[in-house]
Structure 1
Amino acid sequence: MSDIFLFNKPFHVMSQFTDSDGRATLSDYIRIPSIYPAGRLDYDSEGLMILTGDGELQHQISHPRHKLNKTYWVQVDGDIDDQAIAALKAGVTLKDGPTRPATVHRIIEPSNLWPRTPPVRFRAAIPTSWISLTISEGRNRQVRRMTAAVGYPTLRLIRAKIGDWSIDNLAPGEIKALTIGPEFKRYRTRNAQKPTQSQRNTRTTTRRKRSS
């Protein structure tokens, strides 16, 4: 059995416990010793983080190989159209390469959404809209770059789920403890990303070199 902690990170909080520039950090909200984030969340993004003191579990949750989907609520600048939604679903090409296909659909503003401090700046003549976007990658500022690539810059970004864990009933700045049992190992194995043919070929070549 291992404990994890679900934390709803507020806006403009670093996803670490110290900061040399004096910005707000996890230590302003979390007083539990010897736990660490399993993955990061941008300073200007909000929502779910998972922390644990179990190093192996931390790796299992955060490593891209284990393919835990992450779902975001995204407020974008403009009334996003079907063409942009289709492009996000298919995968868009960024500077560091194409993204994997994503699960995307329009949503109304979530009813359990909290006010952001400071609030998003709105332009009276330009509407905004919301989407739910689920990805299985974790590139730097990926969601923001994806929506910008299809012509709809992100105004507000909230991570709502990681795998089966969500921010339901968790207010900004709140933390909740959960116990993870053997079922997570089965879940992880079932959802682990299978190696590609080129990766299998590379492993075979490596083994041959080591044996020669």
Structure 2
Amino acid sequence: MSRLILFNKPYGVLSQFTDRGAESARATLSDFIRLPGVYPAGRLDRDSEGLLLLTDNGRFQARIADPRFKMAKTYFVQVEGAVGEAALDRLRQGVELKDGVTRPAEAEVVGAPPLWPRDPPIRFRKSVPDCWLSLTIREGRNRQVRRMTAAVGHPTLRLVRWRIGDWTVEGMAPGAWREAALA
């Protein structure tokens, strides 16, 4: 039977089991997960947090990671500035990036989500407001969410992947993992 692992990746951890070529050792998945034969299904940048799925099923791994399958991924994104309807509409229609226009996203302003404190904390600036977005995308370009929010004038301060398909990180502490059923 195939395995599916839900992992709440902390900030600063690489989405791989080894850190090749680094002069100083950085945290990797092997610091948290010691299960043979499972591999990440997709990636989450070192400076991003939240849900990372791991599996030993190659077909399932491809289904999660390949944009052709359009699996929904929902992020909570803390951004600089107060996001207005014009910026939300651009996100909802697709944003022009250097590598082409993104697929339309589901985007809305939300209250601060029930997240764990980040270590290190986000720098607070009295003169620059911030707000939270819920952003759902169905593709996975390199640093896509960060590039999308920057393109509409709101650089990302904190990025947490909350959901992939039907799986969520809700109730999991950073660094925690659990097994789940394959859909």
TM-score, with structure 1 as normaliser: 0.83
Q: Please list the CA deviations of residues 30-65 of structure 1 after superposition, one character each: whole Å capped at 9, or x if unmatched.
A: 111111000000010000000011122211221111
For residue 160 of structure 2, the aligned residue among 154, 158, 161 is: 158
Is residue 98 of structure 2 the alignment partner of residue 102 of structure 1?
no
Is residue 63 of structure 2 the alignment partner of residue 46 of structure 1?
no
The 5 Å alignment of 1:1-212 reads 1-19=1-19, 20-21=21-22, 22-111=25-114, 113-180=115-182, 184=183
Runs of 4+ in structure 1 displaced over 4 angstroms? none
- In structure 2, give the amino acid aligned to 1:93: E
| Partner Cα separation in structure 1 for residue 91 and residue 59 of structure 2 | 33
CA contact (8 A) 2:65 2:140 kept: no
- In structure 1, give the amino acid aligned to 2:161: R
Task: Note the C-alpha offset of 1:10.
Answer: 0.2
Q: Please list the CA deviations of residues 81-140 of structure 1 after superposition, one character each: whole Å capped at 9, or x if unmatched.
A: 1111111111110000111111001110112x0000000112111111000000001000
Task: Tell me the secondary structure at the aligned position of residue 181 of structure 2.
Answer: strand
- In structure 2, give the amino acid aligned to 1:139: R
Structure having the larger proportion of residues in helix: 1
Could you list the runs of 5+ residues in structure 2 that have no partner in the other structure?
Answer: none
| Higher alpha-carbon Rg | 1
Could you list the runs of 5+ residues in structure 1 that have no partner in the other structure?
Answer: 185-212
Among the aligned pairs, what percent are the same residue?
58
- In structure 1, give the amino acid aligned to 2:146: R
Aligned residues: 180
| Partner Cα separation in structure 2 for residue 68 and residue 141 of structure 1 | 17
| Partner Cα separation in structure 1 for residue 108 and residue 125 of structure 2 | 24
